[in-house]
């Protein structure tokens, strides 16, 4: 099968559209939602350009945890997040930011609007001069992603691509609307088309016969946001990604859904469940902020039929995944 790579270079600042069920059911007007989307686009693009300016250069590198070489953070991660926060404060002053580089014990009361940000997703790749990394910015309204952008490096004239969406208006790269990969008639992953899944999947899941030998062409890049970008633009037919944090998925949830895709999450039951964010039980308190900050998940994204096929044919092993999920989800 011939895989066609589509290249875009121009950012598309969006115009107001009335095709938004979210705007109709919320206090946010279409004009306000468009403004928020354009603010998110600006933040992701400017942060991405800053990250690109430091790529391959001298970095200040440290570890967040106790294991050397694991969970790396650089001065570029921190500066990128500060840049995004400044743009948010300038353009959306009543919004709050939750970022990967926040102090881990910080739990203010959650505002209605929360920007969930990964200033560099794939820091280890970035440190090692791999171009597979991303900047991810999502605006959540009471826990639901409603405007989002992901920036990635790309070998085009601009040196990057920026994908963005707002709820009800589709997913775009430049002036081109993008869509998830078309699924096969049965939903079975298509041979020769890229897919992503963790290498440990067989240790944690029983792979059912219909899926055995039909995962597609597996590639794992080391950046959840980059993988989700590839799902949303149809380069990958699906991705099983995680366990990862809210900032790894917040923008991707909207981008994949608005490109015609489906998101499901592994849960403490044997079934994957539909997932669209953190709106359930949302309150303006520190517990909500802390819940989103500490959340970890394993998400399956792609074209709806393919996602449902893969989900039906992965069964968690009683020992291993279910125990891990029970501790993660508090059940």
Q: Which residues are annotated as a binding site for Mg(2+)?
A: 100, 118, 120-121, 248
Q: Which residue has the tokens 């049965």?
A: 186
| Biggest CA-to-CA distance, the chain | 54
Token digits for 51? 């990250």
DSSP one-letter string for 236-251:
EEEEEEEEEEHHHHHH
* Cα angle value 120/126/132 (rounded, 5°): 85
Q: What angle do CA 214, 223, 7 make, to 5 degrees?
A: 80
Q: CA-to-CA distance for 151 and 163, rounded, in angstroms?
A: 6
How far apart are alpha carbons 170 and 59 in whole angstroms? 37
Cα–Cα distance, 231 to 59 (Å, whole number): 31
Q: Coil, helix or strand for 227?
A: helix
């Amino acid at each position: 099968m011939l895989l066609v790579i589509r290249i875009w270079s121009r950012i598309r600042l969006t115009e107001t559209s009335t095709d938004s069920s979210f705007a109709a059911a919320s206090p946010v007007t279409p004009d306000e939602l468009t403004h928020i989307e354009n603010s998110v686009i600006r933040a992701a693009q400017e942060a991405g350009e800053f990250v690109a300016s430091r790529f391959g250069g001298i970095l200040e590198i440290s570890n967040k945890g106790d294991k050397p070489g694991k969970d790396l953070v650089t001065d570029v991660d921190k500066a990128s997040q500060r840049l995004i926060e400044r743009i948010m404060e300038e353009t959306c002053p009543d919004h709050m930011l939750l970022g990967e580089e926040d102090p881990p014990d910080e739990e203010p009361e959650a505002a209605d609007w929360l920007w969930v940000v990964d200033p560099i997703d794939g820091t280890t790749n970035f440190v090692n001069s791999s171009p597979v990394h991303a900047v991810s910015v999502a605006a959540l309204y009471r826990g639901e992603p409603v405007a989002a952008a992901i920036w990635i490096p790309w070998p085009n004239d601009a040196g990057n691509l920026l994908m963005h969406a707002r709820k009800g208006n589709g997913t775009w790269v430049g002036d081109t609307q993008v869509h998830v990969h078309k699924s096969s008639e049965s939903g079975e992953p298509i041979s020769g088309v890229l897919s992503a899944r963790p290498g440990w999947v067989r240790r944690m899941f029983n792979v059912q016969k219909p899926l055995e030998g039909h995962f597609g062409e597996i590639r794992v890049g080391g950046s959840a946001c980059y993988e989700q970008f590839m799902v949303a633009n149809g380069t990958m037919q699906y991705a099983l990604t995680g366990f990862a944090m809210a900032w790894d998925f917040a923008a991707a949830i909207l981008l994949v859904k608005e490109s015609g895709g489906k998101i499901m999450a592994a849960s403490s039951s044997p079934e994957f469940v539909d997932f669209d964010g953190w709106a359930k039980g949302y309150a303006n308190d520190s517990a909500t902020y802390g819940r989103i900050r500490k959340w970890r998940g394993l998400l399956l994204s792609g074209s709806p039929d393919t996602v449902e096929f893969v989900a039906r044919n992965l069964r968690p092993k009683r020992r291993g995944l279910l125990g891990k999920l029970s501790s993660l989800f508090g059940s």
